[in-house]
Structure 1
C-alpha cells in the first residue's frame, strides 16, 4: 500500500477537503500525492483539488522558513548535530553553489516546481535555508514553484498520465 493510500485510510473520518489539505501539507505526499487522491479517490474537480492541495502544500512553508535556522542553531550545541550540519552544508554548497549563484531564485522556483521525488516545498525550504535565502525572497519563489507544480500535476491527472508513468516511461 502506498503512503498516500495509508494516509487516506487514516483520514477516513475527516471531510475530504481537509484530508486533501493534510495530504498536501505532509512531506511524503505534498501536492504530488494530494491532487491525484483528491480527483481519483474523492471525486473532486480539478480546480477544487488544485486549491486544497496547493493550500495544504503552502501551510508548512512559513513555519519551515522561519524555524529551520533556530532549530539548527539549537541542535548545533550537540557535537553530532554540529558535525552533521557542517557536512550537509559544505556538501550541498560545494555541489550546487554554482547553479544557485548563476540562476538565483529561479533555480529555487524550478526545483520546487518539478514534480519529482525529493523536490517540492519541504525540500525547497531546506534548500533556501542551506543557501541562506532570506524569508522575503524564499517565500514567493517557493509559492510560485508550488503553484507551477500544482498546475503540472493537475494537468497530468486530468489527462490520465500518471507521474510514475511519466518518470518510469511505462
Structure 2
C-alpha cells in the first residue's frame, strides 16, 4: 500500500516526484521501488495534463478578453517554432530534470501545450526529465550530494 501512496503523491502538483521520493524513503520503503513508482506516477499524470491544458488554451482563444493576448503568444511561438522544435525535447528534459521549485511535470505539461509540442515528444521529455530529477532527489535524500 505504501508504494501506491507514493505514486499518488508523485501525481499531485504540490509534492510531485520531488516530494514523493523523500517521503517514501522516510517511510522505510525500498528506495529503488520508491524511485520507480514516483517516476511512473509523475509521468502518467502528464498525459491528461497536456490534453487539459490544450483545451484550456482553446477555451481562452474563444473569449474576447483574452483573444489579443493569445494572438500575441501564438505569433511569438510561430515565429520561433523552427528553433523551438529543434530544442523542445531537450528543453523539457532539462526543465523537469533539474529539481527546482515549479519546474515539474505540471509546469512542463503547460509549456508543452503552449508550444504545441507533439504528444510523444513532450511525454518522452517529461519521462527522461523525471528520471533525471528522481536520481538527483534520491541522491540528495541519502545525503550523497
TM-score band, normalised by the shorter chain?
A: 0.7 to 0.9
Aligned length: 144
Correspondence list, 1:104-115, <5 A? 104-115=88-99
- Counterpart mapping for 1:47-58 below 5 A: 47-58=32-43
> Could you tell me which residue of structure 1 aligns to residue 22 of structure 2?
36
C-alpha separation between the residues in 2 aligned to 1:52 and 1:151? 13
| Structure of greater relative contact order (alpha carbons < 8 Å, 6+ residues apart) | 2
Does the 8 Å contact 1:99/1:107 carry over to 2?
A: no
Name the counterpart of 2:55. 70
CA distance in 2, matches of 1:127, 1:56: 19
How far apart are 1:150 and its partner, in Å?
Answer: 0.8
Map 1:10-159; keep pairs closer than 5 Å.
15-40=1-26, 42-82=27-67, 85=70, 89=73, 100=84, 103-159=87-143
Residue 65 (structure 1) shift: 2.0
Flag the 1:72–1:16 CA change in 2: closer, same or farther, 3 A: same
Change (3 A) 1:97 1:155: farther
- For the 8 Å contact 1:69–1:129, the answer to whether it is kept is yes
Q: Report the alpha carbon displacement of residue 85 of structure 1 after superposing the two structures with TM.
A: 4.4
Structure 2 residue ranges without an equivalent (≥5): none
Give the structure-1-normalised TM-score: 0.71
How far 1:82 moved relative to its partner? 4.0
Provide the alpha-carbon RMSD of the alignment.
2.7
Gaps of 5+ in 1: 1-14, 162-170
